[in-house]
Structure formats: C-alpha cells, structure tokens
Structure 1
Amino acid sequence: MSTNGKKKKPGRQVMRGSEYRTMQETKPVIKRKNSHVGVRATKAIFFSIGKVFLIICMILLIICCIVGTALTVFVMKYVDSDTGIDLNTLEVYSTSVVYGVDSNGEAKAMQSLHLNGRREWVDLAEIPQHVQDAFVYTEDERFMDHEGVDWGRTLSSFLKLALKQDASQGGSTITQQLIKNINGDFNNRTIDVKIREILGALQLERHNAKSSILEAYLNYIDLGNGNYGVQAAAEYYFDKDVSELTYAEAASLAATTKSPNNINILDNPERNKERRSYSLRKMLEFNSITQEEYEASLEEEIKVMDRKGDNAQVLETDNKVYNWYVDATIKKVQKDLMDQYGLSANEAMNKINGGGLQIYTTCQIDMQNYLEDYFLDDSNFFYLEQEHPPEGAAIIMDYQGNVQAVVGSRNKKEGNLVNSRATDDIRSAGSAMKPITTYAPAVNSDLITWSTMMVDEPKTTKNGKDWPKNYEQSWSRRGITMVDALTVSKNTIPVELLQRLGIDYCYNFLKNDLHISTLSNGIDKAEGLTLGMNDYGVKLDELCAAYAIFGNNGNYNTPKYYTKVVDMNGKVLLENEPENSYAIDSSSAYIMNKMMQQVIEAPNGTGRQARMNRFTIAGKTGTSDDNLEFSFVGLNPYYVTAIRFGYDQNDKIYTETEQRNIKYKVNKPQVIYKDIMTDLLKDYDSADFELDDSGVVQKRYCTVTGLLAGPGCSSKVGYYKESNLPNTCTGHYSSRTASNTDDE
C-alpha cells in the first residue's frame, strides 16, 4: 500500500532508470542480431549452390575427359588400323572391252561392258599434270597439305548441317570425295555419315600416298552420263584420250564434279562454261597455267560429241544391245570363270562387266556384221512377206574351231544375253546327223567303204514294226552304195549301220569323240539317233564343230569364241589353248569329205543348190520330222557353216518346190548357204580342200556290185583306204574294156 493512500492502476509498472536504459539498449541489439543471421543464411545457400554446381562441373569434366579419351583412343586405333579402305586391294570397277578381228587381222574393240556406267582405269602417270591440277585446285586446293580433312571447311559444313542448310558441297576434301564415291553415299549426307567420312579420310591418308589417292579419285569420280573417271569422260564428251585434253577441256571435266548431271558440258554447256571459268582461274592462281594460256582457254571453242541428238555419234563400242557374238562370248567366259575360279554366276558376271577385262575373241567383225544384216532381211528367205515367218540361226567357224560369226535369230535382237538358237537351243538336226552318227564311224572302223552295197528296205524296230521309211515314203528294196545312200539321204541305210555298229558305239562316238553334250535321253531311245529325231536334238555350234573334222583330217576342236581374257593389270585370267583331239583317222576324214561332195555335186544330191563354181563344197542337208525344221552344214576350203531354219512353234515349213500354201514358201538353208558364201568369199582365191590323202587310193568300182571294177563292169570313181579295199568284181567279164560312159 502506498504511503499517500492512492490505489495503483492495474497493469502499469513504473521502471527505474536503470531498467529503462537496459530495456532501451536491449532492443537494438536484438534487431542487429536478426540481420546477421539472414546474411549468413543467404551466403550459406549460395555456397551450397556453388558447391553443387562445381561438383556437377567436375562430373561433366570427368565424363568429357573419359568420352574424349575413349573417342581419341577409338579414332587413333581406327586411323592407325588396317581396317577401312585399302587402295592396294580395292575392287576397282572398270569397263571391260570385247575385241574382234578387223579386216586387217588386227584386234579391234567391238563392245564395251559396263557394271554401273563406263569406266576405264588409267594410271596417274598417264594423266597430264594440267588435268590433275584442274581437279585439285577446283575441288581441294590444300589437298597436298592436309591429312585428309580440311578442318575449316569441315566446320563450315557441319554448321550448315546444324542450320539445315545445303552442305552437300564445300566441306569434303578429295580424299573424302573418294570415300563417298567408293561407298556410294551420294545422297545420304547426314552428320554420322560425314563423321565416318572424316575418320575414313584420316585413315586413308595415313596408309596411302597422296598420289595413290589422287589416282583413285580421278578414276572413280562421277562425270555425268554414266561416265566415271577422266578417261571414260574424255572419250565420251570429246572423243579423246585423257592424254590429249586441252586446258579448257580439263577444266570442263573438273567443273562437272560439282553436279555431274547438271553441269556436264553436254547437257548444260552454259553452266559448265561458268564453272569452267572458275576452274581456270584457280589453275591460274596456283600457276598451273600462264596468263596467256588462261585467256586462250577462256575463249576456246570446245568441240563436244553429240551423243544424244538425232544425229548422235554413239560410241562404236557402246551399243546398248550386244550383237549375237558378244552374247555367246559372255556366256562362255562366265562359265569358264565359274569353273576355274569357283565364282558364283553373279560374281562371274560382275567380273565380266566391271573388272576391266580385255576379252579377245575370234570374231571376224565384218563377217559378223554381214551375217546379222543378212538374217534381218526377209527377202533373203521368202518369196512373199510372212505374217509369222520361220526363225533361223547360223554359225561359221574355221577348222581349228574358231567361231568367226554367229546369229541366233532372224528377228531384231531386243536385249542382252537372250536365248540364241545357235548356241542355246537344242533342236533336231534331221538327216544332218547321219554323217557324224553312222557313216563316219562306219568308215573309220572299216565296216564300210565308198561303194559297199546295202539293200534299201525297212528295218525292224524293237517292237517288231517296219521302220523307217525314206523321205519319199517308200523303199526301193534294191542295193545301193554308201556314197549314193548318203547323196540322196536314204533313211534305211544309216539305221542298218547303227544296228551293225551298235547303238552304244554310235552314241559314245557322238558324246566322247565329237563332244555332243545334249544327248540327255541316253541310249534307251536311240533307234532314231542317226535320223536326228526330236528325242536327240543338238546345239548348232556343236553340230558345226562335229562336221569340221571332215575338213581337218579327222581332228576335233571345241568351238572357241575367245582366245584369252586379260584383267586390268595385264594378268591372263583365261586362255583358250587349242584342244585338237583325234576323232577319226585322216584317211576316213578324206573319204567322208569326198562322199559329202557328192551331196552337192551329184544331179540327185539333196544339197546340190549349195554348189559354187570357184570352191569345192561338201555338206549334208537335214529335215526334221514333218518338215518342222531344215538344217544344212556346208564345208568349203576356208570355213564350215551350219544353218538352221524353222518354227519355234513347230509349224510346218513349205519350200519353193511345194505349190500349196504358197504364202509359206521359203528358201532352203542350202540356198541360203550359197548366197551367204558367195558374198563372203568373193575376194578369196578359188580353192579345193587340202587334206592328207596318204593311205587313200582312187579306184573305179562296179556300180552293180560295189566291188572294184573288173573288165566289163559299168564303173565310177571312188575313194578307198589302201588298207580296206573291196574285192574285184568278177561277174561282168567281156571282151571289151569297161565303158567309161557312166564315169564321173
């Protein structure tokens, strides 16, 4: 209680001075303490963030180091490895060339073969320096200084890619462009593809000399219109060898590389000229040409070959459709590559088309051109125009088996490696089989002579039927000599010879001695073998080669389309050595040749329409069942020729001797043979066969008995082996000497 007696108001306190001061001092201190805490907290937060950031940076740096190290190791291993492109073993696709023989007997390019366009490899030493400079200074002026990659241009190219701008040009060095051409990455220009190109370029430069890289580049570069490399392009655009190119022409080709389909001089001469000027300026800048040469080159009028217009000057060897000879040669080379090198069919064909092969054939180019033109002319075959004319084929070879010319159809050839009726088809040869199936082996085995007599009568088949009939559908049932039976093409006589010799003997003679490869029916149905019935077809070139023994002293040669195949490095891959083998003895060949001359010379000979005045001709006709197909094989002192004529659909052919259905009337193949040979041999010397006649004697024989003529015999001249002479006829003795009125 207060001394003054007043009551205090509740809640109010009176402070002493010291307490007030204490309170006043405490308040500010509390405020200052809160401010320091906030600063420290802020600093702590920033410190923590910085620490986290630093850790992240460290982690990223470590990752980058790891990745960078790994990438560096990978790149160095890749660059230093033997993986990637090796120019020493590079499979270079280069145009192959098929050569024929010209009128002077020299090898002449007949057809070029392409895999993916024309390409002809040429060594760097054969490419003039100014041509090399035109490409280097136009495409990659620092080529000799960098190690495969121009990093400044490459960075620019990547930036264009990142900004989705055109980066197809400007960044690639010559080394990178070479890789692009080899790998075929022309349109895929993504970042990963360019990275692979960079790595490949570094690797390529590490393991190969600049000269090797430049050589490959100049042979690989696309220069438009299906031409790859400077040699092919020089021939196509300027009809020149690369060694003959002027400065302006070299610059024109170098200008083309920027856009081969749009800036080549043939398709867009103005754009090519504009870009050509740039190339020439670069050549001047780097002292590849002088100021005077530069100015002259700018004004030079370049002569460009017209390869596309109405008067297009197509490359002589660049026919899109091969002739029949080239077709046959490619098929033979393909088979031989498969057999000798174990290649697949596709591998062998790629080798032929893109291996830069030089294929030397025995084709006589002028003869081949003539034969193809002849077979396309209907007037050579028909009296009247045909709606569906018969087909035809022909082959000509010499007596060493060298094929000189071949035609596989009477119609225009529309494609390559198509079916050929001369080399692919297995067709009936009719009676043209008789000399090689029975007469030749019968003479060779001494079963028969020129004048051996046999009766023209039906023979009995295995089932007991009378067979066969002759062409005239009858039998004379009289004796006939071998030479006469062959001359008029009797069917009964060769069937009897077949039976006497034995089917096995005749079959094996065809297969083993004459190398007829098409006797797929074996001997089960061989009764019709000698008549060339449809069960026993042959290829025309094999038939022709079989007949060649009668002009080659009995020696057989396999049909030969090429002599050798050389690769782009000069290595001989294939060589056709002579394959002369014994078929019949020379005496038998001589006698058979003389017998087949009667087919042509005798008044009743089936091949008399093939007779020629200046040359001795031997041969044999053939008609298949029901006139479905005609054949003729003719021999002259220079060539043996086989001709086939007939319908693929087995329609009947009517000849000029048949009056019905005149719209189908055609010439027989022996007429065609004479027509062809008259033209082909017009500049040849008249000649007779030059055969080995040792062991052969000329004797007169009795036309009644076939024995050697005695006094009083009506006789003719025949040819005999000294070791196999007939007896002398003793049934026609008279007081007069033998009449010569029937002599030939």
Structure 2
Amino acid sequence: MIGVGVTTAVAMLLGLVGGGVAYASTVLPPIPEASGTTQLQFSDNITFATFSAENRVEVPLSKVPKHVQYAVTAVEDPDFENNKGVSFRGTARAVWGLVKGDEGAGGGSTITQQYIRNVFKMTKERSYTRKVKEIILARKLSDTLSKDEILEGYLNTIYFGRGAWGIQQAAQAYFGKNIDKITPEEGAVLAAVIKDPTNFDPANKPESAQGRWGYVLDQMVATGHLDEASRASLAYPKVLPEAKRTGEWRSGSTGILGQKVEAELKKLGFSEQDINTGGLTVLTTISNKAQKAAEKASQEQLKGQDKDMATAMVSIDPKDGAVRAYYGGDRGYGNLDLASASAPHPAGSSFKPYVLAEGVKEGYGIDSKWDGTSGQKFEDREAPLRNSEDDSCGKQCTLTQATVQSINTVYWALTLEVGAKKVARLAEKAGVKTLDGMPVEERISKGINSGIGIGQYSVSVLEQAAGYATFASYGTYHEPYFVSKVLDADGKTVLYNRADNPSQPVQAFDKSVGRDVSYAMQQVYDKSSKNKINRDAAIKTGTQQYQNTDDNAHAWMCGYTPNLATAVWVGSGADKDIKLKDQVNGGRVYGSGIPGRIWSSFMKTTLTGVEKEKFAEPLREGDKLGNAPTEEPDPTPSDTPDPNNPDGQNDGAPWYGDNGQSPSPSDGTNGDGQQGENPDGQQQDGSIWPN
C-alpha cells in the first residue's frame, strides 16, 4: 500500500514538473524586493545601528568570493549548475518522508526552491500541496533567471543565525568583516550554518559546527571545487563569540541616539517604510570618538551614585551645527530622551549668558557697573532677591564680575532693564527654541518675568548646546543636525546630501556682542581652579535647588572652545526630582562637580589631537550705565579667602529669603531658578574635582 502511495505521489509531482496542466496554469509572480537593512553610520562610516525587521545588507554576487559560492552550492545543492531548479532525487526522498510521516527526512529542496520559499514567504509545512507549488515555481524561476541571479538572490535572503539575514551580515556576525574579505575556511563556516543556524553555530555546539564544517569541505572536494591537498591544509578558523546582535542596538544610549536620527530622517521626508525596508545607508554627523567619550564620561561619573541620578549631554560643532555626540540617557529606543525638548530641565545660571548678550546688544557693556549686593528688592517681585550664600560683588560690580560670581541681583536687574521677552527671543534666535517644553512665543504668551534672567525656566540639553554653539561662533546660529548623507540600497545613489541642502545660518546677535559675551565666560573658566582642559575655553554653570532645602535638584556645566560646544545636565532620571548628593566624593552636586567632570573628561578626550584655537579679543562695546550708585567706589576684595571657597567664586549653596525660606515670585511659579554653581570646582568640603 505504501509503495503504491509513493509511486503515485512521485509520478504526480514529476508529471507536474514535466509540463502538466498545473504547471502551464501557474504564473510566476514578480520577485519582490527583499527587505533591506538601513544602516546608521558614524561620520567615519562605522555602522552603529540598523533599522529593519531583518538585519540584512544586500551585496552583488561579484562581491562574494568564488570559494564562498562553491562552499554554499556544494553543501546545499551540489547539482546547482546543471539542474532546472529541482532535484528529482531529492524530491523523491521528500515525498517518501511525507508518506512515512518522517519529519526528519531530507527536504529535497534545491537552492532555487529555498529561494522561492524565502522571497514568496511560503510556509515550511510538509505537504504535497506546498511541495507541488514550490517545484512548479522553482522550475519557472529557473527558466526566467540565470544561475548567477538565482544564487545572488539566495545568498542575500537566506538566514544564517545570530540575527543575520544574507551573506554580508553573516560575515559581519561571525567574523566581523565584509564578505569580500572572507577566506575559504571562513566561507565553509558560513555555508555550514545554513542548514541549522542554532546547532551549527560554533558558539552553541562547537563539535557539531566543526563536524558540519568538515562535511562542507568534503563536498567541495567531491564537486571539484577544492583539491585534496588544499582540503588537508585548512584549519577551523577563529569565530567571534556571539555578541550583542546589531538588531539589539535599540537598548541603552545607542537606542536614544538612533531614535533621534530616525526622527530627523522622517523630517527630511523618508517614510517608515523607507527607513525600515529600504536598505539605506545613513551617514550621520556623530563622531565615533566623541560618542564613545560621551558615553564613557557619563557612565563613569554616575557609577556609585544614586540609582535615580541621570545625565544628558550634547556636543555641537559651532561652525555648522553638526551634532558630534548625543547622550540622552540609557533608557533605550522609544523611551524618554533626557536631552530632547520632551525633557526640559531648569536652566539655573547656565541661562545668564543670553541675558548678558541682550544687555550688551542694548548698549550695556561688559564693564558697565551694577549693584551686586544681596537682598535687593525689585518692582516685579514680592520678596527680596538674595545671591547664593548672600555673596556680593559690591555696588560697583561689572557685568563680567557678575558673570564670574554669578550674581543673581545683577542679572535680575539687567533682565528687568532690557525686558524678559527680549531675552527670551534672543535665546530663541540663538538656539533655545522652547522654554518649559513649549515654543518660546507660547511661553511668552502665558506670561514671563525677570526670573528668566536667573534660569527660572526649563530648557533642553540639545537646545542649550545649540545656544552655546552660537556663542562659540560669536552670534551665528546653525540649526543642529544629525544626518549628513543618505544613500540608496545600491550604496551609490545619493538620496539626500546635507551639503546640497544646508540650513541658512541666523545671526542671533552681532559678532561684537558674541565676542564680549565669550570674553566674560572665558573669565569664568580662567578664574576656576580645576576646570581646565588644556586649551582656551568659556564656561557657565548652573544649579536649581531641591524644593526649600540646601540641596540641588539640577546641575549644569555648559561650555565651549572655538571648535566645540558641549552642554551637560545632571538631575533625576525618575519621575520626580531628587536631592543631588555626590555619593563618591561627598557633598552636594554643583555644576562644576559631576557635570563638570563629565564635561572636562569628554572635552579633553574628544579634542585630543585637534588644533587649539584662540578666541577673538573682546571689543568692550556699549556706553550705557548700569544701576550702580555713582558715588560708590569700586569694592576692594578681601585679602582673607573663604576657607570653603578659596577662589572667591559662589560655591553653589542655594539662596534664602529673610524668613529662611525660598520665596516665590509674584507670578506663582515655584522659585527663581537658584544658581550657586561653584564654577571653581570646589566641593563644599574643599575637595577638588580631578582633571
């Protein structure tokens, strides 16, 4: 009975293949384009992330060495060059397995049949119907395409394990190299895993893998593609351990970065389908060196700290707006990006440079004199405003001195004089497009007061980095961007080139203003104790206190050289603020503490080998007088330094109202954005942050 069944089945299958009614009536559908893997690359062409359901990069057959082609055909379809897409012996073996119900019987599938299954997404069910359809389509495909075309399609669609679809990604997954660099012994490893990618992966079952590898080489000898002497000389190659798959890039900080690049691609007009199936090559502005430095500095400085403490950092080239490093936390793709406008943070004193720029623009020079005493009253707030630790630079305090010591009363007075709305709009032109997570004009329409002058409103790390990049370029704003070029799946056709579509720079303020503001921030850097990065720089720090306590909830270090601007924020990664305590070095966290160490480490590493540039000299323009009393002489600094603050800089303690509580501004907002940024790098206990 079984013999009759086998005979009938084989006769039916072979009859169909030979040209029966079913064969004649079956139409070969168009070969669908394979789902390509879009690659995101650093500026030096190293891939750091991929987009697609399948990790695949197609390559032409000419890129695949002949010895790799022969290894695959020898073990998967020894008669590939001569058959018509179907192996009659294999078909009979498959039918016999169907009749007996033997799941382990050989499938009898040629390379052409396997390719048919892959491209038409046919199921692998063991049935006569599926087998008949597969055979008919394979025969028709063999009559339509050349052997090279079939083999190329097959090699680009077959699964090799380790999340790798196609021969190119398999070469990367197993050997960390492109397919054109694969040796004969390595090619045999790739051919060996096709049959069973799990059990023939040397990382899973080394003995089985090496046994299958030997079988591949024996088959190459049998098919005449390898001589005995060469076979004997080959040794099993070193295979990479199975690492974190390329498709798993979405976790951690790389996932946040990839999410940001994806958003820009969509903004440029690329659809989700383009990104996920188009096989694009996306060259980004992100520097491999800078990104690794950002991740390392951030992770090292958070080690040993409160589990809810988080950081974010963005670094921008001020000459064109190219984002060189982007660290939005390590939550992974699809989660909150701590460097984005979706996660704004109170700016504290790091916002003061925008006020200074508006002041200089209005004619108040950096040498104009202001009342820098603590406890002053202002017409647009109810409670007196105090400086950090009641610090003072006297009643004849220059704007430069006020910047170095971060004197709140001077900056509130300057903001009141020039107007909070003007400050907000200058910051917007410079790159801070949102305040408290909303467009600047919307924030203005809801009401804005002089508290903006001391950082009462929240900004994003990306926009803060963009603003400081504008200061580094003396007033010229360049829109930050991540994508330099996009190539089609062929790797040649340019679909987008930033060089052909540059954004127009915006002159946020005159260069003379930029030079003077940069000079003031250079003094902050120069008068710091340990903030050095072995080159000229300009910095401003900032903090926001934690509720009505002596502790801080947010801390910033923002600064730049003429060729790189970087903003660093440290705060809570949880849903609500936390007290920032330095569990490693002790004391409160100030801008010059953990954020400063991240900034310094990153800048030193990233700028190593980069030519040192000098800042332009200040012009000291502006002839308007500040609010300093004309009869008050210049203050004489005390000869006795504060033992907790030997450089005479604010040490970061929050300010207090007369009743010991943090007063609220008249508009009902919760505080004035306390600063106290300790720019000299001194912790309250006197320790110094390391270089």
- Residue aligning to 2:322: 402
| TM-score of the superposed pair, with normalisation by structure 1 | 0.69
1:301 is aligned to 2:245: no
* Equivalent residue in structure 1 for 2:541, among 621, 626, 633: 621
User: Alignment partner of 2:359: what SS?
Assistant: helix
Distance 2:558 2:193 in 1: 55
1:191 partner amino acid: Y
Given that 1:623 and 1:631 are in contact with CA atoms closer than 8 Å, whether structure 2 keeps it comes out as: yes
> Could you tell me whether the CA contact under 8 Å between 1:238 and 1:305 is conserved in 2?
yes
Letter in 1 for 2:601: I
> How much has 1:303 moved relative to structure 2?
1.7
Give the distance between the partners of 1:265 and 1:600, measured in 2 at CA.
55
**CA, structure 1 residues 210+495, in 2 after alignment: closer, same or farther (shift >3 Å)?**
same
SS at 1:506 equivalent: helix
1:180 shift after superposition: 1.9
What secondary structure sits across from 1:669 in the alignment?
Answer: coil
Amino acid in the other structure paired with 1:576: R
User: What's 1:588 paired with?
Assistant: 513
Shift of 1:177: 0.3
Say which SS state the counterpart of residue 363 (structure 1) adopts.
Answer: coil
Q: Is the 8 A contact 1:554 1:585 kept in 2?
A: yes
The equivalent residue for 1:368 is: 291
Gap change, CA 1:675 and 1:257, over 3 Å in 2: closer
Letter of the aligned partner of 2:324 in structure 1? Q
Offset at residue 491 of structure 1 (A): 3.0
2:448 to 498, 518, 526: 526
1:13 matched residue in structure 2: none
Q: CA deviation at 1:277?
A: 4.7
Secondary structure at 2:113 match in 1 = helix
- Are 1:643 and 2:568 an aligned pair? yes
Amino acid at match of 1:629: H
SS of residue in 2 equivalent to 1:525: coil
Match of 1:327 in 2: 255
**Following the alignment from structure 2 to structure 1, what is the Cα–Cα distance between the partners of residues 483 and 554?**
30
Is residue 84–residue 203 contact of structure 1 (8 Å, CA) maintained in 2? Answer: no
Alpha-carbon contact 2:34-2:157 (below 8 Å) kept: no
Question: 1:676 maps to what in 2?
Answer: 601
Q: State the secondary structure of the residue aligned to 1:394.
A: strand
Match of 1:35 in 2: none
Alignment of 1:20-59 (within 5 A): none
2:345 alignment partner in structure 1: 427
Contact 1:357 1:568 in 2 (8 A): yes
TM-fit CA distance, 1:215: 0.2
1:417-469 deviation digits (Å, cap 9, x = unpaired): 54342345211111211222x2213323x3422233455643223xx735644
Describe how 1:238-257 pairs up with structure 2 within 5 A.
Answer: 238-239=175-176, 241-257=178-194
Partner AA of 2:239 in structure 1: M
| Structure-2 residue corresponding to 1:140 | 77
Mapped contact 2:369–2:626 kept (Cα < 8 A): no
Q: Which residue of 2 aligns with 1:210?
A: 147
Q: How far 1:274 sits from its partner (Å)?
A: 4.3
Q: Is 1:489 equivalent to 2:406 in the alignment?
A: yes
- Does 1:358 pair with 2:281? yes
Name the SS of the counterpart of 1:368 in structure 2. Answer: helix
Q: 1:118 to 1:487 in 2, by over 3 A?
A: same
What does 1:532-571 align with in structure 2 at a 5 Å threshold? Answer: 536-570=457-491, 571=493
Q: Deviations over 1:656-702 (max 9, x none)?
A: 9xxxx996544643642674268437855895634387xx3689999
Query: Percent identity between the aligned chains?
Result: 24
1:248–1:478: structure 2 CA closer, same or farther, 3 Å change rule? Answer: closer
Within the candidate set 627, 643, 653, 2:580 is matched to 653
CA distance in 1, matches of 2:172, 2:284: 23
TM-score (norm 2): 0.74
Q: Corresponding residue for 1:452?
A: 368
| SS in structure 2 at match of 1:425 | coil
Q: Which runs of 5+ in 2 are unaligned?
A: 1-11, 547-551, 637-691
Any idea what SS the aligned residue of 2:268 has? Answer: helix
**Distance in 1 of aligned mates of 2:424 and 2:219:** 76
Q: Is the CA contact 1:610–1:673 (under 8 Å) kept in the aligned structure 2?
A: no
Corresponding residue for residue 727 of structure 1: none
Aligned residues: 597
Contact 1:234–1:241 (CA<8 Å) still a contact in 2? yes
Pairing partner for 2:265 from 337, 341, 358: 337
Between structure 1 and structure 2, the one with the greater Rg is 1
Q: 387-396 vs 637-646, which deviates more?
A: 387-396
Displacement, 1:124? 0.5
Please give the secondary structure, in 1, of the residue aligned with 2:567.
strand
Q: Is the 8 A contact 2:370 2:627 kept in 1?
A: no
Q: Measured at CA, do residues 156 and 339 of structure 1 come closer, stay the same or move farther in structure 2, by a change above 3 Å?
A: same
Amino acid in the other structure paired with 1:450: I
Q: Does 1:99 align with 2:41?
A: yes
* Amino acid corresponding to residue 615 of structure 1 in structure 2: R
List per-residue Cα deviations over 1:66-94 (Å, max 9, x = no partner): xx9xx967754543x6x3424xxx13334
| C-alpha deviation, 1:546, in angstroms | 0.4
Matched, 1:234 2:171: yes
Partner SS for 1:564: strand
Q: Look up the match of 1:194.
A: 131
* 2:310 counterpart residue number: 391
Instruction: Say whether residues 1:575 and 2:521 are aligned partners.
Output: no
- Seen in structure 2, the aligned counterparts of structure 1 residues 390 and 234 have a Cα distance that, compared at 3 Å, is closer
* RMSD over aligned Cα atoms: 4.2
In structure 2, the CA distance between the partners of 1:381 and 1:550, relative to structure 1 (3 Å rule), is same
- Separation in 2, partners of 1:299, 1:356: 39
Match of 2:422 in 1: 505
Matched to 1:448, the amino acid is Y
Change (3 A) 1:336 1:640: closer
2:310, 2:570 within 8 Å by CA — same for their partners in 1? yes
Native 8 Å contact 2:257 2:327 kept in 1: no
Q: Is the 8 A contact 1:358 1:566 kept in 2?
A: yes
Secondary structure, aligned partner of 2:443: coil
**Cα pair distance change 1:282/1:590, threshold 3 Å:** same
Give, in angstroms, the shift of residue 474 of structure 1.
8.8
Unpaired stretches in structure 1, ≥5 consecutive residues: 1-63, 102-106, 309-313, 603-607, 708-712, 717-744
Asked if the contact 1:403–1:560 (Cα under 8 Å) also holds between the matched residues in 2, the reply is yes
Name the amino acid aligned to 1:549: T
Tell me the CA shift for residue 540 of structure 1.
0.6
SS at match of 1:629: strand
Determine the C-alpha separation between the residues in 2 that align with 1:277 and 1:475: 81
Question: Secondary structure of 1:526's match?
Answer: coil
